[in-house]
Amino acid sequence: MTLSFSVLASGSSGNAFFIGTEKERILVDAGLTGKELQRLLGEAGIDPASLTKILVTHEHSDHIKGLGVAARKFDLPIYANEKTWKAMENSIGKIPLDHKFVFDMEETKTFGDLDVQSFGVSHDAAEPMFYTFHHEGKKVALVTDTGYVSDRVKKIVEKADAYIFEANHDVSMLQMGAYPWNVKRRILGDLGHVSNEDSALALTDLIDNNTKRIYLAHLSRDNNMKDLARLAVGNILQERGFDLNKHIELHDTDPKTPTPIFQIV
């Protein structure tokens, strides 16, 4: 059985990601209303009743808005690190004790036939972390909501078969745009989000012959455009000698439409 995934929704209005094997069907984040999440799962062809658990990356509302509702409605255990649990406790409603699990930063857990490794990122939340997923020699890396991609993170996420990777903003659109100065500072800072250019530069260090697809994620609605993100990242990758027509497909993601399920073979 293969490793398959869908970016159900991505962007500052809400994030949710699905990854599955034969035995495990995991939701990462539930940053949309329960109703919207159900619609997205339906559109991607995923039966909510088949889900096995929810992993959380951090407590920002675009990642946990529907977490409590989804966990209760679909009877799912939640995994997050202790600081994230503390930070989100008051906003997700009551979760039964036997559905609360700790997933420490830089820990690898085995769920059935899927290994999941967490790693910390540089972002203004309590203890933000993202994940790589490993199954039968295949690897998927999920990295968004980080101000920069450290060498430590690069070591963990390198050589994946597929990347869901942040390309949040175009720096000049952000600088010229209407956001207040302090918000611009936050986004551009080390604890904010990765720009198209920085995303591409990090990716050039990460991808190798195994890499089949890159999904640009967490695109800003106000400071980026899908075409621009793909063009900016694509140009830099081509410049560095990666053949996008031959080996690697570059995709964008959407806040309201799930990507078709991709099976890594």
Should residue 65 be labelled a site residue for Zn ion when binding is judged by CB under 5 A?
no
Should residue 29 be labelled a site residue for Zn ion when binding is judged by CB under 5 A?
no
Comparing CB distances to Zn ion, the nearer of 28 and 200 is 28
Minimum Å gap between C-beta 135 and Zn ion is 26
Name the nearest CA neighbour of 163 among 218, 221, 107, 92.
218
Minimum Å gap between C-beta 218 and Zn ion is 6
Rounded distance, CA 79 to CA 102, Å?
5
Rounded distance, CA 11 to CA 164, Å?
12
**Cα torsion angle, 40, 46, 47, 53, sign:** negative
CB of 214 closer than 8 Å to CB of 167: no
Comparing CB distances to Zn ion, the nearer of 194 and 248 is 194
Minimum Å gap between C-beta 137 and Zn ion is 30
130 is written with which tokens?
Answer: 């993202």
- Strand (E) positions, 98-169? 100-102, 108-111, 114-120, 129-135, 138-143, 162-166
Minimum Å gap between C-beta 30 and Zn ion is 12
**Cα torsion angle, 48, 17, 250, 119, sign:** negative
Residues 6+ apart with CB under 8 A from 153: 119, 120, 121, 143, 146
- Name the one range near Zn ion by CB under 5 A: 38-46, 57-65, 134-142, 202-210: 57-65
Determine which residue in the list 29, 36, 59, 62 makes contact with Zn ion, applying CB under 5 A: 62
Name the nearest CA neighbour of 222 among 184, 253, 256, 258.
184
- Residues between 119 and 148 with contacts to Zn ion, criterion CB under 5 A: 145
What is the CA 163 to chain-centroid distance, rounded?
9
Number of residues that bind Zn ion (CB under 5 A): 3
Minimum Å gap between C-beta 12 and Zn ion is 6
Comparing CB distances to Zn ion, the nearer of 121 and 162 is 121
Should residue 60 be labelled a site residue for Zn ion when binding is judged by CB under 5 A?
yes
Q: Which residue is nearest to Zn ion (CB)?
A: 60
Minimum Å gap between C-beta 235 and Zn ion is 25
Minimum Å gap between C-beta 15 and Zn ion is 6
- Name the one range near Zn ion by CB under 5 A: 52-60, 85-93, 148-156, 220-228: 52-60
- Name the one range near Zn ion by CB under 5 A: 53-61, 107-115, 163-171, 224-232: 53-61
- Residues between 147 and 206 with contacts to Zn ion, criterion CB under 5 A: none
CB of 216 closer than 8 Å to CB of 229: yes
Residues of this chain that bind Zn ion (CB under 5 A):
60, 62, 145
